[in-house]
Structure formats: C-alpha cells, structure tokens
Amino acid sequence: MFDLGLLVSSSSHRPVENYDWGTLQWLCNDAISPGSQQTVGICHIHPGMKNPIHYHPNCEEILYVIEGVGRHSFNGEFVELRAGSTARIPIGVKHNFENIGDQVLICLIVFSSGKRQTVFC
C-alpha cells in the first residue's frame, strides 16, 4: 500500500527559489516527496540574464526548453537551445544557461537524484 500523501503534491508544497536571474520551482525531490530518487523542476531565466556556472557532483541533468531561446555552456563550449531542445548534462560538467532572447526562457529540469547537489564555480 502507498501513502498517496507522499506521492502527490500540491502547489503549496512546491517551493520557489528567487534569484536576480530568474526562478527555480521544485516539483518533486526527496524533500517534497520523501524517498524520491529524482529531482524535477521548472526554471525561468529573465531576458539577458544567466544562472551562475555550476556543476552537479552526484547526478546528471536533463534540460528541456519549453519556451524561449538560450545559450548553454558545457565545460566552456556553447550551444544554442530553443523551444523543443533537450540537453543532457553529465555528472560533473560545469554549465550554465543564458537567455539570449527577448522573452522569459522556461525549462523543465530533471536530475537523477532526489537529493541533487550543486557546486557553484
């Protein structure tokens, strides 16, 4: 038997982290749903802004662009991503995402750990 209260969350349980460059809203992780082995969130990046270069030492990241266009770095190499693009960021790869468009860049982000770790460079 499952405790459905641990498997289904409402918006009141989805914290939003605000930054000068945009927001991260966590939809699922071990803190929201104890025992989760994934982290899922929505990232918004304001036009002309970028998140800091960072890496994840304990998980890979899958990033799917829902709206907008941006320039994503992978260990100093750059690729343009736009709505419909999917990127896989392996464990330990230094990366960040810059919004190069004139509208908010919106991405779905998924990590292979419910306890995602981030190291800022």
pLDDT in tens, 33-53: 899 999 999 999 999 999 999
* Structural domains of the chain in order of their starting residue, each with its CATH number: 14-114 (2.60.120.10)
Which residue is it, tokens 């966590």? 26
CA distance 88 to 78: 14
Tokens (6 digits) for 46: 């304001």
SS3 per residue for 73-95: EECCEEEEEECCCEEEECCCCCE
- Residues 59 and 39: beta-carbon distance below 8 Å: yes
Give CA–CA dist 44/22, Å, rounded: 5
pLDDT digits (tens, 9 = 90+) for 60-84: 999 999 999 999 999 999 999 999 9
So what's the pLDDT on residue 3? 65
Residue 6 DSSP one-character state = H
